[in-house]
């Protein structure tokens, strides 16, 4: 009891102090346009949330440096969803009802966007996912948008890559059944690869977060595929590649945007060397907008080791998502949900870091994909595939 009281008094004082600063908010703060963001800043897919947030925050800072929006500052309120199911609903509800945000930016992972989308739809608060690619995300309703391509396209891109570049005839597919993204991309890849005349010789499942993939990989080995497609996220993929190597599997392994993280190489080391994946953006493709973005991003953000950080697809799409929202608010002349929704739906040829974005009638964007290869521990640009 006593201990508790000792703790309680300072806690109470701290609470009061925070309360006071809350009251002393400047008129400018009160008037700021509040934009909510939810992201996996910690947990299993932490690099997704961190990259996306760094891009998004850079955009908000750029906007404010140029005078903000509708004569007001923009305030970004960011919530960590811990990379965990259940959290997106909690934090997005908070952002909408407690903080009164006018729009939501997020998430990277499709399953987490799918969890938050019905809440935004119901509240008539526009939501823009920077990088969720599962088609169901925007099918939730007319307030839900994305600024990236979708997986029927990404699946076809990798099916054609398997057929034409890898010259594969028989492919094994290894899917994370806990992830809407993984299940969708597996399906679209299979359809494309079969349409190319290829055969799926074995299909196996895992649960994101599993640590031992030996039994499944042994089954894959005995099916004798020419290549293995893993539509998963980097932490699992790195472990799968390590165990595949241990089992003596030496055929090409390839996947989708979920692979993109410096952690893929940090965990996977030489087991991921030579692998390929598709994604949305490569800093090596030096358009004017991208060159400026890379320079600004590197000035603003550092790696854990203190070196200038190279932006990835999530950072670039995070930046574009915030700028596309700002453009819509400007055109709407208000932050009123239904009007911003209409302005977002009318987005045409927005010239951003990841190319031109036009929002189609399904509230998706049509964009090119890039294919990268892991070489010497870094990602090397291989090719751009246009829609």
Dihedral of the alpha carbons of 83, 337, 118, 139, in degrees to the nearest 10? -100
The partner residues of 145 in beta bridges, in order of sequence, read 128
Three-class DSSP category at 376: coil
Shortest Å distance, C-beta 184 to ligand PHE = 8
Closest contact distance (angstroms) between CB of 150 and ligand PHE is: 9
Q: Please state the closest distance from residue 260 (CB atom) to ligand PHE, in A.
A: 5
Minimum CB distance to ligand PHE smaller for 83 or for 110: 110
Task: Give the interface with ligand PHE as residue ranges (CB under 6 A).
Answer: 48, 108-110, 131-134, 181, 257-258, 260, 279-280, 313-314
Instruction: Spell out the alpha helix ranges (H) of 40-170.
Output: 46-65, 87-97, 110-123, 136-139, 151-164
- Minimum CB separation from ligand PHE for residue 367, in Å? 12
3-state secondary structure of 84: coil
State the minimum distance, in angstroms, from the CB of residue 121 to ligand PHE.
18
Q: Which is nearer to ligand PHE, 75 or 257 (CB)?
A: 257
Nearer to ligand PHE, 134 or 347 (CB): 134
CB crowding 161-193: b at 16 or more within 10 Å, else e: bbbeebebbbbbbbbbebbbbbbbbbbbbbebb
3-state secondary structure at position 69: strand
122: Cβ contacts below 8 Å, ≥ 6 apart = none
Closest contact distance (angstroms) between CB of 335 and ligand PHE is: 27
Burial of 10 (0-12, 13-18, 19+ CB in 10 A): exposed
Find the Cα–Cα–Cα–Cα dihedral 329, 330, 331, 336, rounded to 10°.
30
Q: Which is nearer to ligand PHE, 47 or 335 (CB)?
A: 47
Give, in order, the Cα–Cα distances in Å from 80 to each of 89, 115, 122, 212: 12, 14, 22, 28
- Of residues 317 and 329, the one with the C-beta less far from ligand PHE: 317
Task: Decide whether 110 or 335 has the Cβ nearer to ligand PHE.
Answer: 110
| Cβ at position 208, least distance to ligand PHE in Å | 11
* Residue placing its CB nearer to ligand PHE in the complex, 163 or 261: 261
Please state the closest distance from residue 364 (CB atom) to ligand PHE, in A: 12
User: Which tokens belong to 260?
Assistant: 């993109």
Residue 250: its H or E element: none
Rg (the chain; Cα; Å): 22
Measured distance CA(204)–CA(212) in Å, rounded: 14
Residue nearest ligand PHE, Cβ-based: 181
* Residue (32 or 317) nearer to ligand PHE, CB: 317
Q: Min. distance of Cβ 313 from ligand PHE in angstroms? A: 5
| Three-state SS annotation for 183-225 | HHHHHHHHHHHHHCCCEEEEEEEECCCCCCCHHHHHHHHHHCC
Q: Closer to ligand PHE at the Cβ: 44 or 331?
A: 44
The C-alpha atoms of residue 335 and residue 149 are separated, in whole angstroms, by: 26
CB of 29: closest distance to ligand PHE in angstroms? 33
Nearer to ligand PHE, 107 or 327 (CB): 107
């Amino acid at each position: 009891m006593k201990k508790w009281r000792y703790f309680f008094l300072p806690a109470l004082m701290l609470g009061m102090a925070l309360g006071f600063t809350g009251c002393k908010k400047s008129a400018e703060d009160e008037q700021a346009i509040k934009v909510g963001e939810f992201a996996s800043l910690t947990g299993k897919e932490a690099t997704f949330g961190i990259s996306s947030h760094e891009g998004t925050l850079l955009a908000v800072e750029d906007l404010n440096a140029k005078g903000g929006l509708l004569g007001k500052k923009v305030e970004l309120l960011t919530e960590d969803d811990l990379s965990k199911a259940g959290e997106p609903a909690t934090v997005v509800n908070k952002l909408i009802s407690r903080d009164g945000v006018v729009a939501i930016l997020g998430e990277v992972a499709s399953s987490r966007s799918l969890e938050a989308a019905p809440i935004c739809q119901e509240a008539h608060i526009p939501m823009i996912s920077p990088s969720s690619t599962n088609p169901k995300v925007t099918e939730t309703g007319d307030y839900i948008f994305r600024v990236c391509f979708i997986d029927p396209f990404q699946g076809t891109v990798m099916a054609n890559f398997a057929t034409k570049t890898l010259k594969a005839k028989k492919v094994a597919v290894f899917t994370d059944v806990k992830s809407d993204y993984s299940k969708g991309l597996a399906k679209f890849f299979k359809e494309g690869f079969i349409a190319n005349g290829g055969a799926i010789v074995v299909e196996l499942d895992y649960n994101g977060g599993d640590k031992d993939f030996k039994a499944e990989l042994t089954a894959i080995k005995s099916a004798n595929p020419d290549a293995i497609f893993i539509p998963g996220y980097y932490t699992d993929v790195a472990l799968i590649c390590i165990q595949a190597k241990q089992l003596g599997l030496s055929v090409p392994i390839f996947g989708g945007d979920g692979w993109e993280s410096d952690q893929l190489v940090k965990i996977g080391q030489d087991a991921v060397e030579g692998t390929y994946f598709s994604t949305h953006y490569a800093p090596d493709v030096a358009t004017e907008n991208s060159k400026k973005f890379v320079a600004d991003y590197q000035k603003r953000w550092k790696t854990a080791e203190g070196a200038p950080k190279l932006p990835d697809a999530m950072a670039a799409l995070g930046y574009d998502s915030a700028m596309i929202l700002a453009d819509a608010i400007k055109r709407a002349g208000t932050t009123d949900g239904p009007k911003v929704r209409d302005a977002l739906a009318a987005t045409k040829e927005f010239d951003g870091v990841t190319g031109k974005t036009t929002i189609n009638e399904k509230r998706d964007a049509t964009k090119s994909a890039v294919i990268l290869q892991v070489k010497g521990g870094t990602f090397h640009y291989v090719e751009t595939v246009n829609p």
